[in-house]
Amino acid sequence: MEFGVQFFPSVGPGQKSAEQYWSEALQLTQRAEQLGFANVRTVEHYFHPYGGYSPDPLIFLTAAAAMTKVIRLVTGAVLPVFNNPLKLAGQIGMVDAISRGRVEIGFARAFLPHEFGRFGISMDESRARFDEGLEQVTRLLEQEDVSAKGRFHSFEKVTSLPRPTQKPRPPFWIAALSTEDSFENAGRLGHHLMGIPLGGAQMTTLLKIYRDAWTKAGHPGRGRVMLAFHMFCAESREQAAIIAREPLNIYLRSIVDAASDWIQAWLRKTTQTIKRRSSSSPKRVSSHKSRRVAPG
């Protein structure tokens, strides 16, 4: 088992400047390497205190590469939906060269409505853009003279530069939350899994789906799994709770605020679905007593 650190800024100018945040993050990265941590990662988000200080994780990882020697550098994760695959492939190759082959690339589907809205992209295209972007970046890093005709990006006879230092390319990670298809797809493609363990015991089933798909596809080993947890160590449970409670609450409040549009849209859609089903259901007269049925 390996341990790493993740920087997920949930802060805005009113709490801490970006200069101070990233200065502290780089100092902590150096300290993490000295203490034997295996990797460091950061996110890609925009326009909001929830992650907005990190619109490009590869920039931070480049700075971290210049200040460290062995710690692995992981994007946690880049969002193909908001990136041109030609540019992203070139950036990955450059950071792989600067770090002397220490970068690893995590990919994720975006999920925050305000980001889609500001980029002028429909959330309905999220999965299709992710799949196409991942496939095109993979080919650009592994092959030369690449042509692709996609729904969102097309190009002819492109050789991405710089070529990757790691062969055939840096390791890929796929972020997955709770959708079985996401876990199965990561295993089938032979990519490592960047799990988000919000589902509790459900994660056991999802990891089995990932590993079964990995084995069925004929990949060697069982794949690799990375899980992220909030952790704070202190002399006692009570002291840890006192110190860590407010920073954790700030993070939780920031994600609720950032995702509020999505939550409201989901509630509206669910309400409309219930109303449609109710209006279309035939009314029956029954002599039996009514029973209360739990929703879901």
pTM of the model: 0.84
Asked if residue 263 has pLDDT above 70, the reply is no
pLDDT classification of 273: cutoffs 50, 70, 90: low
| CATH homologous superfamily of 4-170 | Luciferase-like domain (3.20.20.30)
**What digits encode the pLDDT tens for the residues 80-110?**
999 999 999 999 999 999 999 999 999 999 9
- Compare 196 and 284 and report the one with higher pLDDT: 196
Tell which residue, 139, 7, 143, has the closest CA to residue 85.
139
The whole-number average pLDDT for the span 205-211 is 94
219-257 residues labelled b (16+ CB within 10 A) or e (exposed): eeeebeebeeeeeeeeeeeeeeeeeeeeeeeebeebbee
The domains of the chain are located at 4-170
- Compare 274 and 118 and report the one with higher pLDDT: 118
Amino acid found at 40: V
Cα distance between residue 16 and residue 49, in whole Å: 11
Integer-rounded Cα radius of gyration of the chain? 22
Cα distance between residue 172 and residue 108, in whole Å: 11
Q: By three-state DSSP, how is residue 71 classified?
A: coil
Give the pLDDT score at 208: 94
- Cβ count within 10 A of residue 47: 15
**What digits encode the pLDDT tens for the residues 8-50?**
998 899 999 999 999 999 999 999 999 999 999 999 999 999 8
Cis amide leading into 162 (omega within 30): yes
Give the pLDDT score at 275: 65
